Amino acid sequence: MIDPVRYLSNRSSGKMGYAIVKAALASRHEVVLVSGPVALSPSDGAEVVSVESAEDMYDAVAERIGGVDAAVMTAAVADYRPAKVSDDKIKKSGERLVLELERTRDILGSARDLMAFDGVLVGFAAETGNIEAYARGKLERKGCDFIVANDVSQEGIGFQSDQNEVTVFYRNGSSQHLPRASKKEIGESLVKIIEGVLVARRAGS
Ligand code: PMT
C-alpha cells in the first residue's frame, strides 16, 4: 500500500502458479497455495492462504514451508515497497511526487538459510534479456534445485497469457527447454520434473 486507496503491484495474473497447483492436485499431491490478490479461483482441494503484501507472503511461507516436500515460488513478489504508508490519502500538490521505496525480504532467497528448508526448492526467473546468466545467478544465490526461466518480453507468454515457454536450469549445469504450450501443460511438465527430483533425492539418501 502507498496510502489507503493506492498500491504498487505488477502484471502477474497468478495463472502460472494456479496451473501448477492444479497439476499437483491432479497428481494427487497435497497442496498449500499461498497467493497474493488475483482474479482466479483456486482448484478444489488445495489449502489456500490468501495474502496481500510481500511481507505477509514471507510470513505465510515461513510458517508452512517446514512441512512440505517441495516449494515452488512462482509469485512475482515485489522487490521494493513504500518506506512509509500514508495513513491518509495523499493529496495532489506540486508537479512531482517522490516515493521512497525500501527492499522487501526475499522469500525464495530465505528458504534455505533462514527457514532451514531442505526439500526440493524451485524458483522462477522473469527476465527480459540475458536469460541464462540471470537465471543461473538466481539459481545459485537462492539455493534452488532448479529455476524456471521465462522471457517476459515475448508476446503471448509470461505475464497474463494462457501460454508460456520456459527453460529449466539445473544445478549440475544442464538445462531443459519446454516449448510454447498452455500454462496447464507447462504446469504438468514442471510437476513431473519435481517428482523426478524427489525420487532421485530419495534414492540418493
Ligand atoms: O502470473 P502470470 O500472469 O501467469 O505470469 C507468470 C509469471 C511471469 C509471473 C511467472 O512465470 C514468473 O516468472 N514468476 C516469477 C516472477 C518473478 O518475480 O521473478 P524474479 O526473477 O523477479 O524473482 C526470482 C524468484 O525470486 C521468483 O521465484 C520469485 O518468486 C522470488 N522472489 C522474488 C522477490 C522476493 N522478494 N521474494 C521472492 O521469493
Q: What is the pLDDT of residue 76?
A: 98
**Ligand 1 closest atom vs CA 13:** 3
List ligand 1's pocket residues with C-beta within 6 A: 12-16, 54, 73-77, 79, 104, 106-108, 123-126, 138, 150, 152, 158-160
Indicate if 130 belongs to the active site. Answer: no
Give me the mean pLDDT over the 122-127 stretch: 98
Q: Tens digit of pLDDT for each residue in 139-188?
A: 999 999 999 999 999 999 999 999 999 999 999 999 999 999 999 999 99
Q: How far is the CA of 111 from the centre of ligand 1 (A)?
A: 15
The percentage of the chain sitting over the pLDDT mark of 70, rounded to a whole number, equals 100
In the predicted structure, residue 205 carries a pLDDT above the cut 70 = no
**Ligand 1 closest atom vs CA 54:** 36
Residue nearest to atom 13 of ligand 1 (CA): 126
Give me the mean pLDDT over the 33-45 stretch: 96
Q: What is the pLDDT of residue 204?
A: 86
Q: How far is the CA of 95 from the centre of ligand 1 (A)?
A: 33
Give the 3-state DSSP-derived string for 110-155, with helices as H, strands as E and coil as C. Answer: HHCCCCCCCCEEEEEEEECCCHHHHHHHHHHHCCCCEEEEEECCCC
In the predicted structure, residue 117 carries a pLDDT above the cut 90 = yes
Mean pLDDT across the chain, nearest whole number? 97
In the predicted structure, residue 56 carries a pLDDT above the cut 80 = yes
Contact 75, 38 (CB under 8 A): no
Cα(134)–Cα(185) distance, rounded to whole angstroms?
25
**Ligand 1 closest atom vs CA 142:** 26
Q: Residue 192: is it exposed, middle or buried by C-beta count within 10 angstroms (0-12/13-18/19+)?
A: exposed
Please tell me the total number of residues recorded for the chain in this structure: 205
pTM for this predicted structure: 0.97
Cα(124)–Cα(154) distance, rounded to whole angstroms?
16
Q: How confident is the model at residue 60 (pLDDT cuts 50, 70, 90)?
A: very high
Residue nearest to atom 27 of ligand 1 (CA): 124
Q: How far is the CA of 205 from the centre of ligand 1 (A)?
A: 30
Q: How far is the CA of 96 from the centre of ligand 1 (A)?
A: 30
Residues 6 or more apart whose CB falls under 8 angstroms from that of 168 comprise 146, 147, 148, 149, 175, 176, 177, 178, 190, 193
- Residue appearing with cell numbers 512462482: 74
Q: Tens digit of pLDDT for each residue in 126-135?
A: 999 999 999 9
